[in-house]
Each structure stands twice: as C-alpha cells, then as structure tokens.
Amino acid sequence: MLSSNAEKIYWLSRYIERAENTARLVNVNFDLLLDIPHDSVSDFIHLVEITSDLEQFNSILLDEKMFYSSSVSAVKNVVLNFVIYNSDNLGSISYSLEMAKYNSRYLRTMLPKTAWEQFNKLHAEFSLSNKENHNTEVLHQIIRNSKTFFSTISDAMHRDHVFDFIKLGRFIERADMLSRIIEDQILRKDAKIPKYYENLQWMSILKSVNGFESFKKINKGELRRSNVLDFMVKLKEFPRSIIFCINRLIAVTKYLPKSENLKLKLIKIKKQAAKLNEKSTDKQILAILDLLQLSLIDLHIEIEEKFFNRGPV
Amino acid sequence: MYFKLTHFIGIIIAPLELKMNKTFSYQSSIFFDEYIDSKSSPRKGYKRSIDFFHSLSPSERVYYTNLCESSISSMGVTFQLDANELQDRSWPLDLIPRIIASNQWKLIQKGLIQRVKALNYFINDVYNKQVFLEKNPVLKELVLESSNFLPECMGITPKNKVWSNICGTDLIKDDKGKFFVLEDNLRVPSGVAYMLENRNIMKRVIPDLFSSYDVNPIDDYPSQLYKCLSDASFNTKANKKIVVLTPGVFNSAYFEHSYLAQQMGVELVEASDLYVSKSNNVLMKTINGPKKVDVIYRRIDDVFVDPKVWRKDSKLGIPGIYNAWKNKKIAIVNAPGSGVADDKAVYAFVPKMIKFFLQEKPIISQVKTYVCAFKKDLDYVINNIEKLVLKPVNESGGYGILIGPQSSKSELKKYKSKILDNPRNFVAQPLIKLSTSPTLINKKIMPRHLDLRPFILSGNNSFVTQGGLTRVAMKKGSTIVNSSQGGGSKDTWIAD
C-alpha cells in the first residue's frame, strides 16, 4: 500500500468519526439544555469551548457585549451555526467533512463502491441541509450516515491494509473524542448546576454514545457517576468505551508491518486507563484523561513516522 | 401471477401511446441524422429506440432524466470545469443512445487498427532511421521543427515498436453518413471512463430498451488495458507492477485516472509517490518500504515526465525517470515523444504512411488536408480560403482556427497574410457538415451534432473498443462537443 494513501485513508476515517462524534457532543448538550432550567447562554458558550476555539468564536461576533446579553435562542443559533457549519472553525462538523471529502477524492480506488457512494451521500446531505433552521435532524443525519458508511466498510470491504488504516484512524479518533466528552462532563460539575441535575447529565452522556440501554442492562437502576465512568472507560464489551477502542487498535497492529513499538505504546495506554476506579477524584480523573490524550497524540506521531513518511533509503 | 398480468398490460398500452404521439416534430435537415433518413423515417435498427423515446410523455421524460442524473451523482461520475477549483460537475449524459450496426463497426475497427499501426511505425521511424522522412522532405522539416518532436528520444525503441499504446481517434460523419477520421490523439487521450460509466447508467435507467437490443458489451476494456500495459514492459516476469500516474485531484480528468486504476486493480500514484534509485530502478513508497515498478501509465504530458530532461519546472514528474526508461528498466505508456504524430501536418501524411509501412490502402477515409508548406496546396488555399477551415499546425484545443464560410472579408484577408508570412505553419480542410442525432433538450427531442472517440490499444495484439465515447454538442447548431465547453455525451451501442 502506498504511504500517501495510507495517510489519506487514515485521515478520511478520522474526520468522518470526528464529524460523527462532534454531532453526538452537540446533540447531547442540546438535549440537556432542554431539561436544565438555568443560565443557558453560558451553556451554549460551553459548547463552543469544548468543540472549538472561543477566541475565534468571539472574533466573528459583530458586537461581543450585545451578543452575550441577547436572547437564548439568538445565542443558540449563532453557536450552532459556528459549531456545525462554519468551515473556518477547525472544530466544526463542516470542516471535518470538507477534510474528509478532500481525502476521499484520492481514495476512489481504495474504497468499495458502496462505501464511496455512502460517503458522497453523507457529504451531499450535509451540504444540502438547511443552515437556517437549527434542529437536531442534521446531527442525527450525520450520525446515521457515518454509521452506515462504517458498516458498509465492515460489511463489504476486503480485509487489507486499507481496512487496517480505516480502523486505526477511527478508533484513535473515537478514544480521543470519548475522553473529551467525559472531560466535558467532569468540568461541567464545577459550573453552577444543581446537584439534582447531575444524574440527568450522566444519563444524556450515555445516550450520546448509544450506551444507555446496555448500561441499564449491566447496572440495573443504579446510575452513579462512578458507574458511568467505569462503563465508558473500562467496559471492554462496549464499542464506545475507551478500552474497547484501545483493544481494537492493539488487534490492528497484528496486521501492520513492524508495529511492535506501536503495540507496546497501546498496552501502556491501556494500563493508564485502567487506573481509573470508584475512588478517583475529579482531579485524578482529569489527569488520567489528559495523559490519555497526550498518549494518543504520541501514538499518531509514531504512525506518521512508521507508515506515512517512507522516503528513499 | 398478478405481477405478470400487470406487466402484460404494460406491453399492450405502449403502442396506443405511440399512436397518440405521432404529432412528433423531429424532421430531417441538410445534415445526416443518425436516427432518421431524408424522408424523416427511422433508419434501420433505430426504430425501437425512437419509438421508445417518442412514446414517453413529458412527465416520463422528466422522470427518466432525473433518474439518470441521480444515478450519475450517486455513482460519483464527475468532471471539473476549472482546473483551479475543486468544483465537481456531474457528467452530462443524454439518454438517447447512438446505435451503430455491428458489421459496419467491424470494418471501422479494422481501419483503426491499420491506422494506429502505421502511426506507430511512423513514430519509431522518426526516432530511429527516418526512412519515411527522407522520402518526404517537407514533412521532415515540419517534424524536426515541431515542439512535439523530442530529440532525447532518438535511438530509443519501445517494446513491440509501439509508442502510442493507447490512442483515441476522433471520428465524424459527413452529410452522406460516411465515417471520417478527424484527428488522432496519440498522447494522453481521455474519455474512456465516461464511456464505461455511460453504459452502467443506461443499464440502470432504461434496462427495457437496452435489453431489446443485442448490444455488444464494453466492460472488458480495463482488463484489455491491463494486458496492453503489461505487454509494454521489457521485464519478463509474470506479474508486473503497473501504476497509473496522475497529476492529482486538481486535474480535470482525475475521475478517469482513479476509475481506471481501480478497475484494473493497480495503484494510482502521484509523482511524490515515486523515485528513481541509483541503479535506475523506479520505486514506489509503500508502508512496507520501497517497491519496484515496471510500467507507468502516465496521464501527464510527456514534457512533464522528467524535470531533469524536459520541463525543468515540472512538479508532476519524477527526476531521473528518463534514464530508467532509456535503460528499459521502466515502460512509460504512452512513450514520451509519441505526440510527434498527432501534429496536424503529420495527419495529412497518414494515408501515405499506411501505404509505405503496411503496403495497404487506407480503410477509413480522412478529411482532405491542404498542407500550406506545399506550393500547390498553398495556391489552392489562398484562392479558396472562404470555403475552408484553417488550422495552425502547432496549436491545439481549437486555438487560432478560422472557419472560412463563417468569417468576414477582412478577417479572411488578415488570415491570408498570416499564411503567406509563414505557410508552413498552416493546414486547411474543407468544412464538414457533422451528422446529428436526436437529443433530449429541456424535455424536447432536438437534433444535435456529434462525434465519436473509439480507443485503440496496441500491445502484443491490437484491440478496439466496441463503439467509444459519443460526444454531443448541446447547443443548437454548435459543433463544440468538449465537456469543458458544455458538451454532453451519449452511450454508443454496437448492435446487430
């Protein structure tokens, strides 16, 4: 497989997964705000903080002061537009999909035809979606289309290196985004949300990863922070837990050439994540997540050096 | 059972609708029409197709057109108008097929193989002994001065003496319905992917009409191309490493590059994926380290292939690849330098080449061409300029062309002096009245001009596509069929 193609397929996969997870993140916040009756303006701004760059956001506002004192629905529209549609915003869904589209142009020869058509559909439907009318349908559409894209890949694709790099990109991105979703909820606790709503928060985060039903099956009625964290970080059977992602990555290394070092790094990450337990304080949890994110960046650099930059020897 | 019954009713209803639509206004004109004769009755073999499209109500026409468009976009068949913008356009396909009788096509195939064989012998002669050139001193001068002649290719003989392994020859029909060769594209002809995808779309959209004809399949083109590329290598091992070299996603034909690579199951590469080793091997950068390449199907112009030898500013080429090619370590397809034969002045000599190299008579006619470098031709052109189409020898893409019958007296006068200043730079041809075919324009069926580009492969054996890409000018009276200028296309059916 060409080094340059490995790089493009890896990024295509990462950007689609990123678009999907950003959609999930926006969606869960959107959902939550319907339930929490308090200062929602700052909650929407919080959405900007966790997905994008607040400074950049402020720079697009005509009048900052006036904006922050305007009505919730006005703020909501500006924020959602920024997070979903503003392709100058590197954290927006639009940017991720444009980058995915850019990479996909090179990859027609590598993807199954059905997957290629599904990606075109994903991109086209997003481009055609109504930018004025902010309901969550566009988010659901992205999640749905991205899922269909990846299931088409699993269903129709020849198991070769292309498949391996799709997985590599997808699960690194997912682990990273999961850690951010959790981090977001922990940090939120600092904000002035009444204790009463805390469970609601953890419930919607579970929903955002399609994990509510399986969580219930395992934990029965009991919904506590520690339970949810354990589920989302350490449950190896659940496809949107961090450990699940790391295990999948370890499994991929088996098929990649000269990947011993990569595997060692992954095993180390797994050990770090396993440190999380019932007694972990917020500070400890944040430190673990922080380390995880840094390790994932390190992992990416390793992949880049090993596979993407293969020049003359 | 019920299903069959409804189906049956459908068949009965169709002829009734046909009668109701008899008020159809498609009439014959001074041009040869593919579908109807001079009395406006359908030609042999065209009746079923014309009946089918006549019987469609306006809403059905919209339905089929939409279905066609949505298939095209979901299949991702695109091209780009502007090289600087990544704006994909859906490929324009007209649903009304062009149909050619298979016995007529067999003769055309023979004629094309004959022509391309002679052209390849000619190129090989140019870069080696120059026997043909010695016999035609005017041509020799024209060729050696041409920018398409690459002196660095002297003394090189590619495998099988084939320089242009993939040729796209443009055919037209005149007002009598006779095929003529308009030009030979011996460098990097494009369009074949659209030919293949047109067929897939037609099968999806109008399967019933399609199956009512016995259409020769075209889908073995990629495997024929693979074989042809494989044949070009001097390497004797069984599985040769073949790649398609593209200038990148910004190129207007990128869709085709990636399509062909995928259909052949080979890598699509850009220059940065390749490099030449000290031992003159061409290597490809992969996740497993460097891999040796045997054949490059280049989709960039030859002068961009090696910045060390030709265009120094080329970022699309691979430094050092010329030496690898010269040393037979890599096959470059089409070979650099093959463009020397698709010069407009060289075209005039093709019938002579066929006689000289093959001792045969040309099977397909070509348009009478006056080479102004010859005194006799020059006199004729100057005296009859208002009847002729004038073309500069060194320009392509329609630049600098003067259409005599459509030009003013002062324009003709100006052009005359341009010719007299440098006669060698010009050729002239009579104006051909291009044939027309019914075409769907805004729900109406209108006559539009068309041409045909078959593809000829030369490896150990020769191969010609069943039909080719039919291009159609979508504007009334226009003869410009290029997709970049609003031209469309049709599926071409070779059928009994």
Interface residues on A facing B, Cβ-Cβ cutoff 8 A: 1-6, 102, 105-106, 108-110, 113, 116-117, 120-121, 124, 161, 256-257, 307, 310-313
Tokens for B373, please give them: 């470098």
Q: How far is A306 from chain B (nearest CA, A)?
A: 8
Provide the pLDDT for residue B16: 36
- From residue B99, alpha-carbon distances to A12, A101, A127, B105, B185 in Å are 42, 38, 39, 10, 23
CB contact under 8 A, B268 and A109: yes
Q: How confident is the model at residue B486 (pLDDT cuts 50, 70, 90)?
A: confident
**Does residue B494 carry a pLDDT above 50?**
yes
Q: Give me the mean pLDDT over the A283-299 stretch.
A: 94
User: Could you tell me if B261 lies within 8 Å of chain A, comparing CB atoms?
Assistant: yes
User: Which whole number is the average pLDDT over B195-202?
Assistant: 93
pLDDT confidence tier of residue B420, bands split at 50, 70 and 90 = very high
Residues of chain A found within 8 Å of residue B277, distances taken between Cβ atoms: 312
Q: How confident is the model at residue B23 (pLDDT cuts 50, 70, 90)?
A: very low
Closest CB to A2 among B255, B258, B285: B285
Q: What's domain B368-430's architecture?
A: 2-Layer Sandwich (3.30)
Binned at pLDDT 50, 70 and 90, residue B138 comes out as: very high
Closest CA to A199 of A179, A221, A232: A221
Task: State the pLDDT at residue B20.
Answer: 39
Q: Do A116 and B283 touch (CB under 8 A)?
A: no
Taking only the tens place, the pLDDT of each residue in B248-262 is: 988 888 889 989 998
- A275 CB neighbour count, 10 Å cutoff: 13
Structure tokens at B375: 């005194």
Residue B17 clears pLDDT 70, i.e. is over it? no
Residue from A8, A10, A105, A303 to probe the interface with B (highest B Cβ count within 10 Å)? A105
Which residue of chain A comes nearest to B289, CA vs CA?
A310
Q: Which pLDDT score is estimated for B19?
A: 39
Q: Is residue B459 a contact partner of residue B465, using CB atoms and an 8 Å limit?
A: no
Cβ separation A312–B288 shorter than 8 A: no
Write the DSSP assignment of B455-468 as a string of letters.
Answer: EEEESSSEEE-SS-
Query: In this complex, do B285 and A310 lie within 8 Å of one another by their Cβ atoms?
Result: yes
Task: Please give the residue that has the higher pLDDT: either B23 or B488.
Answer: B488
Picking from B262, B269, B275, the nearest residue to A2 by CB comes out as B269
Higher pLDDT, B419 or B2: B419
Q: Does the pLDDT of residue A160 top 50, yes or no?
A: yes
Which is nearest to B78 in space by CA: B202, B204, B247, B255?
Answer: B255
Is A307 close to B287, i.e. CB distance below 8 A? Answer: yes
More confident residue, B16 or A80: A80
Cross-chain residue pair B73–A124, CB shorter than 8 Å: yes
- Contact across the interface for A310 and B270, Cβ inside 8 Å: no
Record: contact B277-A312, CB cut-off 8 A: yes
Rounded average pLDDT over A46-57: 86
Judged by a CB distance cut-off of 8 A, whether residue B78 touches chain A is: no
Name which of A6, A120, A312 is nearest B287 (Cβ-Cβ).
Answer: A6
Q: Determine the Cα–Cα distance for residues B314 and B316; give it in Å rounded to an integer.
A: 5
**B102-126 vs B350-358: helix crossing angle, rounded to 10:** 80
Q: Is B392 on the interface with A (CB under 8 A)?
A: no
Q: Which residues in chain A have Cβ-Cβ distances shorter than 8 Å to B273?
A: 2-4
Confidence band for A192, pLDDT divided at 50, 70 and 90: low
Q: How many CB atoms lie within 10 A of CB A188?
A: 18
Distance from CA of A257 to the nearest CA of B (A): 6
Judged by DSSP in three states, B361 sits in coil
pLDDT band for position B4 (50/70/90)? very low
pLDDT per residue as tens digits for the range B144-184: 988 899 999 999 999 999 999 999 999 999 999 999 999 99
C-alpha–C-alpha distance, residues B377 and A203, integer Å: 88
DSSP A29-47: HHHHHHH--S-HHHHHHHH
Task: Nearest chain A residue to B288 by CA: give it.
Answer: A257
List all residues 6 or more positions away from B396 whose beta carbon is below 8 Å from its beta carbon.
Answer: none
Distance separating alpha carbons of residues B64 and B409, to the nearest angstrom: 47
Q: Tell me which chain B residue has its CA closest to the CA of residue A310.
A: B285
**Interchain CB distance below 8 Å, A117 and B76:** yes
**Band of pLDDT at residue B76, cut at 50, 70 and 90:** low
Contact B285 A3 (CB under 8 A): yes
Instruction: Say yes or no: B267 contacts chain A, CB-CB below 8 A.
Output: yes
Mark yes or no for CB contact A1/B285 under 8 Å.
no
Q: pLDDT digit string (tens) for A84-137?
A: 999 999 999 999 999 999 898 888 778 888 898 899 889 989 988 888 776 788
Residue type, B456: I
CB pairs under 8 A between A and B: 68
**The pLDDT value given to residue B88:** 66
Task: Name B389's bridge partners.
Answer: B403, B429
Higher pLDDT: A185 or B219? It is B219
List, in sequence order, the alpha helices (H) in chain A: 3-35, 40-51, 54-60, 64-68, 72-80, 93-104, 113-128, 137-156, 161-190, 198-208, 212-219, 225-229, 242-253, 260-274, 282-303
Helix or strand holding residue B203 (H, E): helix B192-205
According to the model, what pLDDT value does residue A312 have?
61
Position B11 scores a pLDDT of 34
B6: confidence class by pLDDT, cuts 50, 70, 90: very low
pLDDT at B1 over 80: no
The larger pLDDT score, comparing residue A29 to residue B107, is at B107
The whole-number average pLDDT for the span A236-240 is: 92
Searching chain A, which residue's CA lies closest to the CA of residue B264?
A: A109
Domain spans, chain B:
100-361+433-495, 368-430
- Say how far apart CA B347 and CA B341 lie, in whole Å: 7
- Min Cα separation B192/chain A (Å): 16
Which comes out higher in pLDDT, residue A43 or B268? B268
Amino acid at B299: R
Give the per-residue pLDDT at B207.
94
ipTM over 0.95: no
Task: Give CA–CA dist B284/B275, Å, rounded.
Answer: 7
pLDDT value for A131? 80
The answer to whether the Cβ–Cβ distance between B287 and A161 falls below 8 Å is: yes
Backbone angles phi, psi at B82, to 5 degrees: -115, 125
Give chain A's mean pLDDT.
88
Comparing CA positions, the residue from B183, B464, B171, B459 lying closest to residue B335 is: B459
Contacts of A161 in chain B (CB under 8 A): 287
Per-residue pLDDT, A191: 57
Neighbours of B8 (CB within 10 A): 10
Instruction: Output the pLDDT for position A222.
Output: 78
pTM of the full predicted structure?
A: 0.82
Task: Find the closest chain A residue to B263 by CA distance.
Answer: A109
A256 vs B contacts (CB less than 8 Å): 287
A163-177 burial: b if 16+ Cβ within 10 Å, else e: bbbbbbbbbbbbbbb
- Angle at the Cα of A78 (from A75 to A82), degrees rounded to 5? 135
